[in-house]
Structure 1
């Protein structure tokens, strides 16, 4: 196994790479890192590198056929003001998968990217 690099990477399989780039950069503050082909791009926020793999990408082709749809796993993004993020994202037409929930550690809400992958926005207590 190779040594760690400056980013932790997560791969999301997406239906439409340009739509995913737009969602993550314009709605969630990621920065486009690379977009070498229509089938793949990666975006960065802090130390998270999110690999956006379209249907023709090698990452998507390596995914078993019986793995479909979004699961319960998700990336977890810390926000400073959950209520303002919710307002901004609702105004932008983002799909919400839950209402805001409060627990002992803070508050969170789940949203979905254009392919249905889950993203948790979390405001610590």
Structure 2
């Protein structure tokens, strides 16, 4: 079994796609106006409109209501990403911080309030852990 994608349900697919295009530097691939994907080498972040929820079952997902997941991106230099994004992103949770498990991390929120973590491994153990990812 392979994890293929994480899908976010939103009332505004275009706004979320533009945010993740800015964040990742990857252009969204649009299937319909209600569905776009940010395809990275490690996985895909899918963005679906609330109009698609009816296809899965009414009430099965609610936009802008995530309080448990963190979307994480491995980046070469988290401090450089912070400098690049400071003027364009409104909701930073913290500044780059070195965590006890060896990653330097930057937490921010996307326009729907989903928590996003950009991180760079900085200790020998963390660098080894993520070397193949």
- Using the size of structure 2 for normalisation, the TM-score is 0.75
Residue 44 of structure 1 corresponds to which residue in structure 2? Answer: 39
What is the RMSD computed on CA atoms of the aligned residues? 2.5
Distance (whole Å) between structure 2 residues aligned to residue 67 and residue 22 of structure 1: 17
Separation in 1 of the partners of 2:85 and 2:9? Answer: 22
Q: Distance in 2 between matches of 1:68 and 1:60?
A: 19
- Write the mapping of 1:1-125 to structure 2, written as runs, cut at 5 A: 4=2, 8-33=4-29, 35-58=30-53, 62=57, 63-64=59-60, 69-103=65-99, 104-125=101-122
Higher RCO (C-alpha 8 Å, min separation 6): 1
**Aligned length, in residue pairs:** 120
Partner Cα distance (2:63, 2:12) in 1? 18
Q: Which is richer in strand?
A: 1
Q: Distance in 1 between matches of 2:48 and 2:4?
A: 16
Structure with the higher fraction of residues in helix conformation? 2
Uncovered stretches (5+) of structure 1, i.e. residues with no partner: none
**Cα deviation, residue 10, structure 1:** 0.4
Distance 1:23 1:59, change over 3 A: farther
**Radius of gyration: which is bigger?**
2
Per-residue Cα deviation, 1:99-120 (whole angstroms, up to 9, x for no partner): 3321231211111111111211
TM-score with structure 1 setting the length: 0.79
Contact 1:39 1:57 in 2 (8 A): yes
How far is 1:20 from its partner?
A: 1.1
